[in-house]
Structure 1
Amino acid sequence: MTETTVSADATLPGGAAPLLELRRVKAAYDRITVLHGVDLTVAAGQVVALLGPNGAGKTTTLNVAAGAHRPTAGALLLGGRDTTGAHARDLARSGVCLIPEGRGIFPNLSVRDNLRMMTFTGRDRAQIEEIAYTRFPVLGHRARQAAGTLSGGQQQMLALARGLATDPAVLLLDELSMGLAPLVVAELYEHVAELARQGVAVLVVEQFAAAVLKIADHAAVLVRGRVQWQGHPDSSLHAELSSYYLGSAA
């Protein structure tokens, strides 16, 4: 796993140092500002759920964290080191892995060839396949099958397996549950929770909160580009989410 230098004064409740940190981040598309000073931290071994209605700026926040969208103001820190403006490929080499909405697999390639493409990380194909098939045995049984013919849940497993080939320190997930049955979503999130237990910092964007809140250590609610609430995802959050999503809380 990539080593990072964590600043001594950047700490979260409980003494954990943030591995990923957004400080007062603003971001825009052309002249339209979509993030208005977002503050967010994720520690190693922590699952943070970023929730909110459509158009709130959740995916933009992930893209800023991955280096895929440059902020107009504020700072992005990785392990306490200022990486604002760094290219996505450089952040990827530093251990940041983004699994985008829509999974980002190659549907016309086989499962094995999708995994083989990750050998650019420096691991050989055998190592990558061993990691993938050990965590997701069904992929081993479908190794020669075109990825586009897998079920939605299996495609998401393949996307996760490709991401794990990079040995990420920070995992960014966008709408993991999209289009999937609740039982499949629960299984996928258990894999995500296991990754966090192994020390990965996980930031998950979800519009549908129920599944991710079962494993989240911390949650933040983004509304119109601003964090309106964040803290431990207890029953009070469940009670208030509908007002945030429907727009009566601002």
Structure 2
Amino acid sequence: MSLLSAQLVSAGYGDSRAVSDIVLTLAPGELLALVGANGAGKSTLLRVLAGAHKPTSGSVWLKDVDISPLTDFERNRLGISLVPEGRRLFASLTVLENLMVGAGSGRVGEWTADRVVDTLPMLKPLLKRNASRLSGGQQQAVSIGRALMSNPEVLLLDEVSLGLAPIIIDELYESLAVVRQSGLGIILVEQDLSRTVAVADRIICLLEGHVVLQGAAGDLSHEQITDAYFGHSISSFSNPELTTEEGLQA
């Protein structure tokens, strides 16, 4: 049984379609990376999975339950947590208060404030500081910590490294390696292809809202990924393995 799945999901904004007939699955403990150029539909797909954006068609399943009718708050209580692009912290609250917002799901589990700080050690000296006084990397750490405080089974990470210094990105990814050991299923949107290949179990590449390439990270060459990323080769649109639900789930 898949932990999370999307079945023929399409979504957009007004008359503009952002993703079309997406089928994906996420297994427990798996890190699935979504890659693609700006505007490929990655963030929209994460928001659909989290319940923050309503699809025009298709369904989202958590294990064997169709959660399509549920709001983002309801899905969070069931174990899906989104770290959104832009972090979206409460600027007037302290770091600790922002973390405790994540505990509002009421889910019981191993992720307490102490565990989060141990996993994201850059937060330890910042707990009493207002979020408005944090650097971009510190804000991202708080955003990840807040999501973990909901004790999720599925963690959706949107643009973890965007706009951050390399040394901060390295520190955040070291923390994510610890997070993975807890057995979470993770879907990661990341622009850094080298880093993506290094950490992902599987990769799905989106182009103009369509899946154009997917496979185990170790089975895809850098050339294949970059060609799909930039649309240099779109033969996969006509590949029957990628245009059937069974093929997309493989």
Relative to structure 1, is the Cα distance of residues 198 and 123 closer, same or farther in structure 2, using a 3 angstrom cutoff? closer
AA of the residue aligned to 1:83: I
1:18–1:79 contact (8 Å) kept in structure 2: yes
Secondary structure of residue in 2 paired with 1:234: helix
Give the alignment partner of residue 97 of structure 2, picking from 113, 130, 141.
113
Corresponding residue for residue 55 of structure 1: 39
1:131–1:165 contact (8 Å) kept in structure 2: no
Corresponding residue for residue 13 of structure 2: 29
Corresponding residue for residue 81 of structure 1: 65
**Identity among equivalent pairs (%):** 37
Q: What do the CA deviations read for 1:167-210 (whole angstroms, capped 9, x no partner)? A: 00000000001011223222212322332221101001122222
Corresponding residue for residue 200 of structure 1: 184
With the length of structure 1 as denominator, give the TM-score of the two structures. Answer: 0.86
- Comparing 44-53 with 67-76, greater Cα deviation is found at 67-76
| Aligned counterparts of 2:28 and 2:174: Cα–Cα separation in 1 | 17
AA of the residue aligned to 1:36: S
User: 1:242: Cα distance to partner?
Assistant: 2.6
Give the alignment partner of residue 122 of structure 1, picking from 84, 101, 106.
106
* 2:224 is the alignment partner of 1:240: yes
Corresponding residue for residue 174 of structure 1: 158
1:25–1:38 contact (8 Å) kept in structure 2: yes
Structure 2: gaps spanning 5 or more residues: 235-250
2:103–2:150 contact (8 Å) kept in structure 1: no
| Aligned counterparts of 2:158 and 2:181: Cα–Cα separation in 1 | 20
Secondary structure of residue in 2 paired with 1:53: coil
| Aligned counterparts of 1:79 and 1:160: Cα–Cα separation in 2 | 23
Task: Note the aligned Cα RMSD (angstroms).
Answer: 1.9
Corresponding residue for residue 41 of structure 1: 25
User: 1:58: Cα distance to partner?
Assistant: 0.4
AA of the residue aligned to 2:159: E
| Aligned counterparts of 2:60 and 2:113: Cα–Cα separation in 1 | 33
| More helix as a share of residues | 2
- Runs of 4+ in structure 1 deviating by more than 3 angstroms, as ranges, are 121-124
With the length of structure 2 as denominator, give the TM-score of the two structures. Answer: 0.86
| Aligned counterparts of 2:221 and 2:91: Cα–Cα separation in 1 | 38
Structure 1: gaps spanning 5 or more residues: 1-16
AA of the residue aligned to 1:134: D
| Aligned pairs, number | 232
